[in-house]
């Protein structure tokens, strides 16, 4: 069996810093577990634009298609704000998602015990929280046509985007949510705006139909996305798996992330159809962005990126025990009171740099192993 292959795309801002800590975890497995990855590294986002004038070259796109999994840091930054829309850093990420057809974006929001006091919500509301948002990632208003900015011929302009979903697109992401729910506590809540949008009506009908046809054992409920946002901050533990569209998923997952204390904690997996080797097309990335305000200062929290690698172990390589080891080590260092800048402030905790956090996690892996 050839080594599993990974394409590493650190990207912009804090991306390269947090990815350097993931490298330590990867190295640990090579040294201690006879688990070596074939690693390639390349540019994406603003970094690719600076080098090549495009946020993702065709060569990098081809490499992403040929590896077992892609690991991405973050893209974007104020330096690129005035660039043409077509070459903005975000377009590189969106091209990867679209061309790899990564339709199911899994965003778990889990509250670590040690951080329960750090959430903006009361401890009793979020302690033990463990939910996953399954966000549709390759369609909807992010990609729908027509789109653009046109003249209204009266001296003004019109900005246009189109929310559009097909039966097939809805069913395949709903299927991912139902499959995931079966491995958890078997509950799915689907969110849309069927009260105002036809695409929401179709979404609700198709999700329900698939449940009735193929997943009668799964408990399915529906919620309008605005009410869902409210429930998410009122009583988040009522949820297990939430399935929703691209734009609502973008918003709801940021809110869910913050429930857990910091955006610096949240990993994600973006999965597509199985490849020839049976592994799904896959890209793993932290939910946080490039955080240019703290880039290069050793302040970034590498945990979201490290946990994204743990998701790769679990979902791409079927290495559940190794994923447990990484996640357990993260729990250990948090229990020890180590905190990067985003999580500082609680009594009994001590500050640690980005690299210090990575070192501590690797040490904790060794202690557990
Ligand atoms: C996310 C981000 C992206 C999105 C941006 C960077 C294009 O916010 O992954 O949630 O809007 O999908
Ligand atoms: Mg987002």
* Residue whose CA lies nearest to ligand 1 atom number 10: 250
Is the CB of 324 within 6 Å of ligand 1? no
Is the CB of 251 within 6 Å of ligand 1? no
My answer on whether omega of the bond before 56 falls inside 30° of 0, hence cis, is no
For the stretch 234-273, pLDDT in tens is 999 999 999 999 999 999 998 998 888 888 999 999 999 9
- Indicate if 68 belongs to the active site: no
- Indicate if 142 belongs to the active site: yes
The pTM score is 0.94
Q: Atom of ligand 1 at shortest distance to CA of 253?
A: 10
| pLDDT at residue 260, rounded to an integer | 87
Ligand number nearest CA of 270 is 1
For the stretch 270-328, pLDDT in tens is 999 999 999 999 999 999 999 999 999 999 999 999 999 999 999 999 999 999 999 99
Ligand 2 centroid–CA 248 distance in Å is: 10
Ligand 2 centroid–CA 276 distance in Å is: 31
- Of 55, 85, 94, 97, which is best to mutate to test ligand 1, by the most ligand atoms within 8 angstroms of its C-beta? 94
For the stretch 132-167, pLDDT in tens is 999 999 999 999 999 999 999 999 999 999 999 999
| pLDDT at residue 204, rounded to an integer | 98
Neighbours of ion ligand 2 (CB under 5 A): 250
- Indicate if 332 belongs to the active site: no
Per-residue confidence band for 350, with pLDDT thresholds at 50, 70 and 90 = very high
Is the CB of 245 within 6 Å of ligand 1? no
Q: Atom of ligand 1 at shortest distance to CA of 105?
A: 9
Helices 89-99, 58-66: axis angle to 10 degrees equals 40
- Indicate if 38 belongs to the active site: no
- Indicate if 98 belongs to the active site: no
């Amino acid at each position: 069996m050839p080594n599993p292959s990974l394409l590493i795309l650190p990207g912009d801002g804090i991306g390269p810093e947090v990815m350097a800590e993931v490298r330590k975890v990867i190295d640990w497995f090579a040294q201690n577990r006879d688990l070596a990855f074939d690693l390639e590294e390349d540019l994406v986002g603003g970094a690719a634009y600076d080098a090549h004038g495009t946020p993702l070259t065709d060569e990098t796109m081809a490499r992403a298609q040929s590896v077992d999994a892609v690991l991405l840091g973050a893209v974007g930054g104020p330096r690129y704000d005035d660039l043409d829309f077509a070459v903005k850093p975000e377009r590189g990420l969106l091209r990867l998602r679209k061309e790899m057809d990564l339709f199911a974006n899994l965003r778990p929001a889990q509250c670590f015990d040690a951080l329960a006091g750090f959430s903006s919500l009361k401890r009793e509301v979020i302690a033990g929280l463990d939910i996953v948002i399954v966000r549709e990632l390759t369609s909807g208003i992010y990609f729908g046509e027509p789109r653009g900015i046109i003249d209204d011929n009266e001296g003004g302009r019109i900005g246009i985007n189109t929310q559009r979903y097909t039966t097939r697109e809805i069913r395949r992401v709903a299927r991912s949510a139902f499959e995931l729910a079966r491995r958890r506590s078997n509950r799915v809540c689907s969110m849309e705006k069927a009260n105002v949008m036809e695409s929401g009506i179709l979404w609700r009908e198709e999700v329900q139909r698939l449940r009735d046809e193929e997943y009668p054992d799964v408990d399915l409920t529906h919620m309008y996305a605005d009410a869902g946002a409210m429930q998410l901050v009122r009583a988040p533990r009522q949820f297990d798996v939430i399935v929703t569209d691209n734009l609502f998923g973008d918003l709801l997952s940021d809110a869910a992330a913050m429930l857990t204390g910091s955006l610096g904690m949240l990993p994600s997996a973006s999965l597509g159809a199985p490849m020839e080797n049976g592994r799904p097309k896959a890209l793993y990335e932290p939910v946080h962005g490039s955080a240019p305000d703290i880039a290069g200062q050793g302040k970034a929290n590498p945990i979201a990126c490290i946990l994204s690698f743990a998701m790769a172990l679990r979902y791409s390589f079927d290495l559940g025990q190794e994923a447990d080891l990484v996640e357990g080590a993260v729990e250990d260092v948090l229990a020890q009171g180590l905190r990067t800048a985003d999580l500082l402030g609680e009594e009994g905790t001590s500050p640690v740099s980005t690299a210090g956090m990575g070192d501590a996690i690797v040490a904790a892996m060794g202690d557990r192993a």
